[in-house]
Amino acid sequence: MAEDLGGLLPRIQSPPPGPRSLEMAERLSRVESRNITHLTPDFPVFWEEARGANVRDVDGNIYLDLTGAFGVSMAGHTSPAVVEGIRDQAGRLIHGMGDVHPPAKKVEFLEALAALGPWPNSRTILGSSGSEAVEAALKTALLVTGRPGILAFEGAYHGLTSGPLAATHREDFRGPFLSRLYKGVRFAPFPDSRDGDRAVKKSLDKVRWILREGDGGDEVGAVIIEPIQGRAGVRIPPPGYLEALADLTWNEKALLIFDEIFTGLGRTGALFAFLHEGVVPDLLCLGKGLGGGLPLSACVGPARIMNAWPPTRGEAIHTSTFLGNPLSCAAGLSFLRELRKGDLVARSETMGRKLLTLLTTSLAEISEVSEVRGRGLFVGVDLRHPGTNRPIKGVAVRAATLALREGILVLPAGAAGHVLELSPPLVISEEQLDWAVPRLKKVVEKALAE
Ligand SMILES: Cc1ncc(COP(=O)(O)O)c(C=O)c1O
């Protein structure tokens, strides 16, 4: 690994995708199912190594990563502390028997996770992917309430395995599988702060109606929401909304699930996004950064809720082969320590403020930039036709390709691909942000002109 990789500015030596990336794309197309990796002459590049906020591709190009690789690499790519934790564990035990003869690391990790709060006596179900954490939370809610119905939100993304997919809103994800999906999920509008009080009222009226009267379908036992919607384009509900939602939910004796798979663990400048609003849910889903880059997720709740699960009698009714995998738990433990040691939550808050200010100032004169919004290092640039509320379809997808040529990794978000989503590693430096913002401005201008 290049010694100084991590805090560097981009160095493009072979216009991306370079020849080795193109060759990899050709090879991949012959072995991977075609629905997975989007391969075009301009996209993607294949990664070889990464550290901090830098990624180096197979052609030797160095990028500044403003995605955190789907928001996962919170302590930075290949964080030395996490590498050390993995290395140490890998030499002793790579796989255990999660729910039979558990690895000791599982206990240590669960204790560290419980110490994060917000409950003094939490209980956890571990998984490998975010989808699994959501699956576990939805099952728990059914056990607690006996009511299978689910209330989710327009724009929601909770994962793509069948249970969570039923609560994921986007039509392109759901459409082909609709006939298989659970029919008892109802969607309420997610209020954007840009739309103000009217949007809040509209959303809460619908929530109230679904919870109280309903449409004659399955009664709702679970209300699941991202406190800030991620893949829908960093959508932040107005202050007070989550509190009102919690009141309605609890009045009807349903369970409130916060899916903080994207927003949790410091991404938004607080350990959990719900801390900004002071509303503690009944169940919390975590994933992405939790395993320091290894697959690890969690459904966490207080014992009074989680004890709706019967004690296992030797054959766990909800488990999986890799539950509590020692390598993932070791990586997760190192990550949680690093989060504290590096004061990364506070860093997310300060650097996020800086990024938001820089972007707001820099993009002010572009009339298509309808909003730059964010919390901590979770920021979205929303692009709409001026004077209307209409998203500019695909503009952020074009911007992501153009940014790649400048040495910047960004992702599009929003159902129309109209939001540039930034979720960099929390260790990104001021110098890197200062460098990136004027380039992003150029990229947005170019994408709008295409
Ligand atoms: C809020 C949220 N929930 C759930 C998921 C699903 O996680 P995974 O892709 O690990 O299954 C994601 C993934 O992006 C997410 O952002």
Ligand 1 centre distance from Cα of residue 347 (Å): 24
Which atom number of ligand 1 is nearest to the Cα of residue 226? Answer: 1
Q: Which domains does the chain have, with CATH numbers?
A: 82-341 (3.40.640.10), 346-449 (3.90.1150.10)
Give the position of tokens 């004690």: 311
The answer to whether the CB of 262 is under 6 A from ligand 1 is yes
Ligand 1 centre distance from Cα of residue 416 (Å): 19
Gap between the Cα atoms of 276 and 242, Å rounded: 10
pLDDT in tens, 187-216: 999 998 777 899 999 999 999 999 998 888
Calculate mean pLDDT across residues 257-274.
Answer: 98
Q: What local confidence, expressed as pLDDT, does residue 75 receive?
A: 98
Q: What local confidence, expressed as pLDDT, does residue 31 receive?
A: 98
Gap between the Cα atoms of 16 and 401, Å rounded: 9
Ligand 1 centre distance from Cα of residue 433 (Å): 26
Task: Determine which of 39-43, 55-59, 106-110, 214-218 has the lowest per-residue pLDDT on average.
Answer: 214-218
Q: Which two tokens stand for residue 160?
A: 């793509």
The answer to whether the CB of 129 is under 6 A from ligand 1 is yes
Give the position of tokens 């296992």: 312
The answer to whether the CB of 287 is under 6 A from ligand 1 is yes
Gap between the Cα atoms of 169 and 151, Å rounded: 11
pLDDT in tens, 291-338: 999 999 999 999 999 999 999 998 999 999 999 999 999 999 999 999
The answer to whether the CB of 131 is under 6 A from ligand 1 is yes
Ligand 1 centre distance from Cα of residue 157 (Å): 7
Calculate mean pLDDT across residues 255-274.
Answer: 98
Q: Which two tokens stand for residue 349?
A: 């808050």
Q: What local confidence, expressed as pLDDT, does residue 193 receive?
A: 77
The answer to whether the CB of 158 is under 6 A from ligand 1 is yes
Indicate the pTM of the whole model: 0.98
Ligand 1 centre distance from Cα of residue 261 (Å): 6
Q: What local confidence, expressed as pLDDT, does residue 215 receive?
A: 83
Which atom number of ligand 1 is nearest to the Cα of residue 134? Answer: 4
Calculate mean pLDDT across residues 7-34.
Answer: 97
Q: Give percent above pLDDT 70 in the chain.
A: 99
The answer to whether the CB of 226 is under 6 A from ligand 1 is yes
The answer to whether the CB of 159 is under 6 A from ligand 1 is yes
Q: What local confidence, expressed as pLDDT, does residue 397 receive?
A: 97
| Cα–Cα distances in angstroms (integers) from residue 232 to residues 340, 392, 412, 416, in the given order | 29, 14, 10, 9
Calculate mean pLDDT across residues 393-419.
Answer: 97
| Count of C-beta atoms within a 10 Å radius of residue 28 | 15
Distance of CA 204 to the CA centre of its chain: 25
Q: In testing the pocket of ligand 1, which one of 131, 160, 190, 236 has its CB within 8 Å of the most ligand atoms?
A: 131
C-alpha dihedral (381, 335, 299, 269), degrees to nearest 10:
-40
135 within 8 A of 357, measured Cβ to Cβ? no
Gap between the Cα atoms of 51 and 75, Å rounded: 10
Ligand 1 centre distance from Cα of residue 4 (Å): 32
| Cα–Cα distances in angstroms (integers) from residue 342 to residues 115, 192, 337, 345, in the given order | 17, 33, 8, 8
Q: What local confidence, expressed as pLDDT, does residue 194 receive?
A: 77
pLDDT in tens, 32-53: 999 999 999 999 999 999 999 9
pLDDT in tens, 266-291: 999 999 999 999 999 999 999 999 99
Ligand 1 centre distance from Cα of residue 131 (Å): 6
Ligand 1 centre distance from Cα of residue 445 (Å): 30
Residue nearest to atom 4 of ligand 1 (CA): 158
pLDDT in tens, 336-349: 999 999 999 999 99
The answer to whether the CB of 10 is under 6 A from ligand 1 is no
Ligand 1 centre distance from Cα of residue 365 (Å): 34
Residue 2 pLDDT class (50, 70, 90 cuts): low
Gap between the Cα atoms of 406 and 328, Å rounded: 34
